[in-house]
DNA sequence: GTCCAGAGAG
DNA sequence: CTCTCCGGAC
């Protein structure tokens, strides 16, 4: 398949198609500097070299990779300042509800269900959130979560939704700039609709999205998703959580993200590993009917949804992800830099160096 | 070398 | 539950 609009792009020769050819030992023609290629070397080594080259060259093409219209992001929420996004509206309504709750008047709902608290919220949770927001406004976090909402925000709704879905798929385990590059390439090549992906060759898709994490599987999932969207949803994306989860490569985390960003329909909290970890450290979630920590992000989501007011369901993700990348890190959390340690039951409880003595019941694999 | 981080397969 | 996927950070 020829890809005319990308002919000038130097990125193209470094896709997986060429990797295949290299391992076949049949081609060096597509590689701009084939002198670096040693067919006898282990595949991994060759790959790593080429990734470096890829990055050098893409840096030179920065101009082309940049989005034409940069989107403004809310620094704290991590969400785009797009007019139709319901976040602000939701906030406003929540404030209204609060101020008018004494008079008993009813505030109309903007597609957000009434707050359903089945569990008493943890004490000081609002102070904790406020503290994290403040820290986030000082620290710069590479928040790669929610990176998908920028996908095709200038497109018509249906195309935009499809772009959001594909971007979500690609964004997992992938740095935001890498994901963005992949989306940009797909967009440049008109490969961001169900129709075109359905027609495109899987190897072409692979080379477009390379080097996002797990690109082989994701390319194959993209084909399957395009197929399903065309046959069952007229080229649009599923509009319910249940049906999104039926798509290959879309699990609970991404399904909630797509519902939030793609449909502006908040069905649940988008819980990733950061939200999962931090909520447990704060003692915000527990296994049903116990005080034990939750075991999985899904369990965390259910537990968190039992008390967290709904207007916080969307912003909690970018907030905690950024916090988790800079301060409340998985390994050796920077409690010294944290301003809410007096409100955190886990503050200074974890090892500050890998060599330090493991506390009792710290790790399950202490074979002392 | 070891870990990371969503999803899926076994 | 564990392992795999892919690259990169450490």
Chain B positions within 7 A of any protein Cβ atom are: 3-9
pLDDT (tens digit per residue) in A290-313: 999 999 999 999 999 999 999 999
pLDDT (tens digit per residue) in A137-189: 887 766 644 455 666 677 899 999 999 999 999 988 888 888 888 998 999 99
Residue A55, CB, strand C, below 7 Å = yes
**Active-site entry in A150, A206, A218, A253:** A253
**Per-residue pLDDT at A368:** 31
**Per-residue pLDDT at A181:** 87
Average pLDDT, chain A: 70
User: pLDDT > 70: what percent of chain A?
Assistant: 60
* Catalytic residue check, A253: yes
Lowest mean pLDDT among A52-61, A197-206, A265-274: A52-61
Using C1' positions and the CA of A296, the closest nucleotide is: B6
What's the CA A329/C1' B3 distance, rounded, in angstroms?
Answer: 13
Chain A residues 208 to 227 with C-beta below 7 Å from nucleic strand C: 210-211, 213-217
pLDDT (tens digit per residue) in A9-30: 222 222 222 333 333 232 222 2
| Contact present, A275 and A285 (Cβ < 8 Å) | no
**Per-residue pLDDT at A148:** 58
Asked whether the predicted pLDDT for residue A196 surpasses 70, the reply is yes
Residue A47, CB, strand C, below 7 Å = yes
**Per-residue pLDDT at A142:** 65
pLDDT (tens digit per residue) in A337-360: 999 999 999 999 876 544 443 433
**Per-residue pLDDT at A117:** 64
Using C1' positions and the CA of A325, the closest nucleotide is: B4
**Per-residue pLDDT at A34:** 31
CB atoms within 10 A of CB A116: 10
Using C1' positions and the CA of A214, the closest nucleotide is: C6
Residue with tokens 């950061």: A274
Residue A315, CB, strand C, below 7 Å = no
Task: Please tell me the pTM assigned to this model.
Answer: 0.67
**Nearest residue, CA→C1' of C9:** A175
Asked whether the predicted pLDDT for residue A70 surpasses 90, the reply is no
Chain A residues 75 to 114 with C-beta below 7 Å from nucleic strand C: none
**Nearest residue, CA→C1' of B3:** A331
Chain C positions within 7 A of any protein Cβ atom are: 1, 5-8
Residue A51, CB, strand C, below 7 Å = yes
**Per-residue pLDDT at A282:** 96
pLDDT (tens digit per residue) in A260-274: 999 999 999 999 999
pLDDT (tens digit per residue) in A86-143: 333 234 334 334 333 333 333 333 334 444 567 889 999 999 999 999 998 887 766 6
Asked whether the predicted pLDDT for residue A48 surpasses 60, the reply is no
Q: Residue A292 half-sphere exposure, CB side, CA atoms within 13 Å? A: 9
């Amino acid at each position: 398949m020829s890809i005319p609009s990308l002919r000038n792009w130097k990125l193209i020769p470094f896709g997986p198609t060429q990797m295949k050819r290299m391992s076949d030992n049949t081609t060096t023609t597509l590689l701009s500097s084939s002198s670096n290629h040693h067919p006898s070397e282990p595949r991994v080594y060759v790959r790593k070299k080429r990734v470096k080259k890829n990055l050098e060259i893409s840096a030179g093409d920065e101009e082309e990779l940049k989005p034409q219209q940069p989107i403004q992001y809310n620094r704290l929420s991590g969400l785009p300042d797009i007019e139709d996004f319901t976040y602000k509206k939701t906030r406003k309504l929540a404030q209204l509800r609060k101020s008018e709750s004494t008079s008993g008047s009813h505030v109309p709902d903007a597609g957000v269900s009434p707050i359903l608290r089945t569990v008493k919220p943890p004490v000081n949770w609002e102070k904790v959130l406020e503290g994290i927001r403040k820290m986030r406004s000082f620290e710069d976090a590479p928040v790669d979560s929610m990176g998908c909402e920028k996908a095709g925000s200038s497109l018509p709704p249906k195309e935009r939704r499809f772009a959001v879905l594909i971007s979500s798929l690609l964004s997992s385990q992938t740095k935001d700039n890498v994901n963005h590059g992949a989306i940009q390439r797909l967009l440049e090549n008109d490969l961001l609709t169900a129709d075109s992906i359905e027609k495109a060759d899987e190897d072409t898709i692979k080379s477009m999205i390379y080097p996002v994490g797990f690109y082989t599987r994701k390319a194959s999932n993209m084909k399957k998703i395009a197929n399903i969207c065309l046959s069952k949803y007229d080229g649009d994306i599923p509009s319910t959580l249940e049906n999104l989860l039926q798509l290959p490569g879309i699990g609970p985390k991404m399904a909630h993200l797509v519902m939030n960003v793609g449909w502006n329909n908040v069905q649940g909290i988008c819980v990733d590993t950061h939200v999962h970890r931090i909520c447990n450290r704060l003692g915000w979630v527990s296994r049903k009917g116990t005080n034990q920590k939750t075991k999985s992000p899904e369990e965390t989501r259910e537990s968190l949804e039992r008390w967290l007011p709904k207007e916080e369901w969307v912003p909690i993700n970018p907030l905690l992800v950024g916090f988790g990348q800079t301060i409340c890190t998985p390994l050796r959390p920077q409690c010294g830099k944290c301003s809410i340690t007096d409100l955190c039951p886990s503050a200074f409880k974890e090892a500050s160096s890998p060599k330090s003595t493991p506390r009792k019941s710290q790790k399950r694999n202490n074979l002392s």
